[in-house]
Amino acid sequence: MIPAGLLVSIEQQLELFTGYKSNISSTQSQGGGSINHAVRLEYAGTDFFLKWNSSYKFPGMFEAEILGLNLLRKTGSIQIPKVIGQGDDTRHCYLLMEYIPQGHPDTRFWKRFGYQLASLHQNTAAFFGLDHDNYIGSLPQQNNESSNWHEFFIQFRIQPQLSMAVDKAYLHKNDIQSFHKLFTKLPHLIPAEAPCLLHGDLWSGNFLCSYKALPVLIDPAVYYGHREMDIAMTRLFGGFHPDFYYAYHEAFPLENDWEKRIDLCNLYPLLVHVNLFGGGYVQQLRSVLQAFVG
């Protein structure tokens, strides 16, 4: 299952990490989403997680993911899988990580998760954005540094995805006009806050519950942004318990009327889903847009 061209490199990484010279003894397919192939593999009696994809289609994806994972881990706020290695051949690139056995949430899991996300969001910077670009899903994400959230949100979140959606003929002239109406209103709709370190793609598929009932974040699209972006994303597809929001708000209170801004913040991930999947996301996007521009 693992591409033959990657095996030597992967086993060399595992030998360096474990200190044992061995071979991959077994693999078991894991959910890798729509972008990656993924397996749990066993080497020298220990399980590891491996994912790979096309190095041509997604150049620099795993390098950017490693930077994001390391940035999140350095905060000490929440558990992040350890990166063991990364490599590629002429066709494929891979990311090798520790394998985290999954468990079930206990009675404290969701509050613990809310407190830990609040702790993560208290890591700040002097700018919105990041010192490098990365990906959200399979789409490039621009992270040009900006001192103004509203400008950053328009120029580096909405506009690139809007242009792509128009090029793909998912959206049209009237949609562009609606977005431009929204842009003039943004400073009055979203309260100013300091840049916060975000996971960037925080839906229910991008966290795990470990066997110790601890939250674990995976597959980040990190940048410094408005923290309501992460909170809103947790509500886009559901799956987060009310205790999560209670604990977050207790630890790091959100501005008044934050729930009224959820759909507004989710215009960005909705545009991403329009460009990835089209279909019903187009009408959902238009409905949200219409609610804010009238």
Which residues are tagged catalytic?
Answer: 201
Distance CA 224, CA 198 (A): 6
Distance CA 236, CA 265 (A): 10
Measured CA distances, 135 to 40, 68, 71, 100, 222 (Å): 23, 10, 15, 23, 9
* Tokens matching residue 63: 């390098």
Measured CA distances, 269 to 83, 104, 113, 160 (Å): 26, 28, 22, 12
- Which stretches of 158-241 are DSSP H helices? 159-167, 173-189, 228-236
Q: Residue 44, SS3?
A: coil
Q: Do the beta carbons of residue 78 and residue 72 sit within 8 Å?
A: yes
- Which stretches of 28-158 are DSSP H helices? 61-74, 109-121, 149-152
